[in-house]
Amino acid sequence: MLRSLAIAIVVALGGVAAAPALAQQAAAAPASQETPVQVVQDITHQLDVQIADHRAELQNNKPKLVALINQIFLPHFDTDWASILVLGQHAREATAEQRSRFAKAFYTSLTNRYADGLLNYTKGTVKVLPFSGDLDPRRTTVRTQVITSDGKAIAVDYAFRRTNDGEWKAYDVVIEGISYITNYRNQVDAEVRKVGIDQLITNLETQGEGALKTMEQDSKQGH
């Protein structure tokens, strides 16, 4: 269950490309001045306040849950860069319109599939570990732990890059050594080779999480 929660947190962070930008609540510092650690701490605080304190209300209100996910995570995620990484070599072959449609359909499907996992979130579930080393604008890693109900810790690391406007934004998440980007890039690559990028996008747009399940099942059968 808590591993599913970890995935839900990851997907929520990476799964909001289609959502409209919503105004953030006041933070300790403007977003452009926040360090990667401060970004993750802010996200954790918002999860405590917006999700953990309202689980009963959100249980039967998925649209509101998804809207909260968008509000909490969207400002901190580099959706354009992440989408290119997920598409891999196919990003170079795709048109700008295809890349935009893919990002919208893929991440909307992910968010809707895993949003309910965040209903298992309780205060203190995420522990942000102390940061050491220098801030690398190309890749800076913030390490966290998702604590299970029996006290076990799942390692969840966030990879950040500094955007051209100076903001630190996450673009990849690694759960117990498994990269979110790499995992889905492999599945997307196999599906593009199987049906083509246009059909993959159409499947995601029309079938949503059903298309994701098909990709995941095909990936398991291929191993």
Buried b (16+ CB within 10 A) or exposed e, 146-159: bbeeeeeebebbbb
Given pLDDT bands bounded at 50, 70 and 90, which one contains residue 190?
very high
Question: Residue range 112-137: average pLDDT?
Answer: 84
Q: Is the dihedral of CA 83, 87, 88, 94 positive or negative?
A: negative
Range ranked top by mean pLDDT from 82-91, 98-107, 205-214: 82-91
pLDDT of residue 96: 93
CA atoms within 13 A on the CB side of 136: 8
- Report the chain's mean pLDDT, rounded to a whole number: 81
Please state the three-class secondary structure of the chain as a single string.
Answer: CHHHHHHHHHHHHHCCCCCCCCCCCCCCCCHHHCCHHHHHHHHHHHHHHHHHHHHHHHCCCHHHHHHHHHHHHHHHECHHHHHHHHHCCHHHHCCHHHHHHHHHHHHHHHHHHHHHHHHHCCCCCEEECCCCCCCCCCCEEEEEEEECCCCCEEEEEEEEEECCCCCEEEEEEEECCEEHHHHHHHHHHHHHHHHCHHHHHHHHHHHCHHHHHHHHHHHHHCC
Task: Please count the structural domains in the chain.
Answer: 1
pLDDT reading at 32 higher than 60: no
Domain with residue 163: its CATH number is: 3.10.450.710
What does the alpha-carbon distance between residue 110 and residue 16 come to, in Å, rounded to a whole number?
A: 9
Which of 209 and 43 is assigned the larger pLDDT? 43
Q: Which domain holds residue 167?
A: 2-221
Q: Nearest-CA neighbor of 170 among 41, 51, 55, 3? A: 41
- What's this model's pTM, rounded to 2 decimal places? 0.79
pLDDT mean over 58-77: 86
Task: Find which of 101-105, 106-110, 212-216 is predicted with most confidence, using mean pLDDT.
Answer: 101-105
